[in-house]
Chains A and B, each alone.
Chain A
């Protein structure tokens, strides 16, 4: 039984993860290093990486700020009734249950060119759908629970004793946050940041719907992979996929490292 189970474990990992990753690698380099390199330095690919970079930067900054603030509000704010906080807490998880395609569709329905709000904004020179702001909004929606869910349990666990002690000793709320609260939640925040970065870089469905996937304008790295596969351009698709997969592995290693630090 034990032997069989271990064999199955090896087989599943081999079939599901290791062999496919190897094939991505071999296909990316099937025309040599030059093929791989030219696929990555192609202007279209460079622009896609730039868009992905802007997307990740903006989403991570906003999500971290609002995620930490909302977590503190949900855990610490006694001025809001418990019922309301419980309701808000349940709403936080909703994006997990929403298909990314639907996440994109929502923004299209609210702010698309055919809606009153979208038309109004467009008249004033603000383009949201089929442009970067819409992609950022869609990614913010999808990644929203990640930070809140990492920080809330830490805040609950540390309790309010130390913060109250700091207040009693005359520290202001700003100083209390940075001297007392922040040092205990920072590994949770780091964890949330890494998860947000990974998800924002990898988000595909929501971004595809909102961006319209316009080459050299709103195409991100993941939607470019999709387009190259649709065009049966496998060397280019796999070169990009290889870089993205390498990044995911770095993310995974950072998470392992942060987890170990958090436990110490």
Chain B
């Protein structure tokens, strides 16, 4: 009876592990094997093609811009949502997560509508000869949209936990408001700001759904890496797609790995 149960337990556990490894690890290794199957020279040739290389550089550039804007805005918004009381605060606080809950294609469509000619913003911009839709700013906006919750949600708990007596002590000792912010409050928020920014950056690098709808997808100008990979898949060039994927994946893994290192160090303290 007991032997029987142990056998059952072992087989359930092995099934779970095999499922997990087959579903997650094997496909990722598969991409690396396929991307590097033609040798290093072939891999280098695939990614150094102007279309591929430019798309990766463009994606990094736009993701950095989106992350910077998002970090600044996210810090301000987290501050307002935690520290200030104003009408609609609770509603806005629950709305923060909406970009995570919305399908990314819907997110892209929303940005398209916001900037399109039928909206007041779009027509105002068109009246001033500013083109945004299908241009780089639209991609940045789409990236900001999908990564919007990260920075806010990582800073909020830190701000809530912050002991008010530390701030009061700082004021009592004669520090100014900005002095207190930079010396007392910001150091407490910093892990959240950095961690949230890195998560946002890795998500912005990977984003496809929202970007493909708002970008013009012109090589070198508005073609991001994930859209370029999709184009390669569609034109039946999976090995080219795999090469760019290896590059993008390695980059994302490095970002994720450094986020983990960062949080581990924080926990250890």
Which A residues fall within an 8 A CB radius of B?
Answer: 2, 5-6, 8-10, 12-13, 15-21, 23-24, 27, 66, 69-70, 73, 77, 88, 90-110, 112, 114, 137, 140-141, 144, 173, 198, 201-205, 208-209, 221-223, 225-226, 229, 237-238, 241, 244-245, 248-249, 251-253, 255-256
Contact = CB atoms under 8 A, between A and B. Distances in A.
A13 B96 CA distance: 8
Contacts of B77: 8-9, 12
A91 B24 contact: yes
Contacts of A102: 31, 206, 226, 229, 245, 248-249
A244 B119 contact: no
A26 to B, nearest CB: 9
B256 A225 contact: no
Q: What is the predominant secondary structure among interface residues of chain B facing chain A? A: helix
B30 interface: yes
A205 B109 contact: no
Residue of A8, A114, A248 contacting most chain B CB atoms (<10 Å): A248
B229 A94 contact: no
A158 B110 CA distance: 42
A73 B13 contact: yes
Contacts of A223: 105
Contact of A5 (B34, B80, B212): B80
Q: What is the predominant secondary structure among interface residues of chain A facing chain B? A: helix
A108 B233 CA distance: 9
B5 A173 contact: yes
Interface residues of B, number: 77
Interface string B59-84: 00000000000000100110111001
Given A101-B230, A102-B31, A209-B233, 20 more contacts: A8-B76, A9-B76, A13-B92, A17-B98, A20-B110, A27-B113, A91-B24, A91-B25, A93-B260, A97-B206, A99-B205, A99-B207, A102-B226, A106-B27, A106-B31, A204-B105, A205-B226, A222-B103, A225-B105, A249-B101
B86 interface: yes
B128 to A, nearest CB: 17
7 contacts: A19-B114, A110-B30, A137-B23, A205-B230, A237-B109, A241-B105, A241-B110
Interface in B106-149: 106, 108-114, 118-119, 121, 144-145, 148
Contacts, number: 231
A223 B109 CA distance: 12
A246 to B, nearest CB: 10
A203 B23 CA distance: 17
B28 interface: yes
B151 interface: no
Given A20-B111, A23-B110, A204 B208 contact: yes
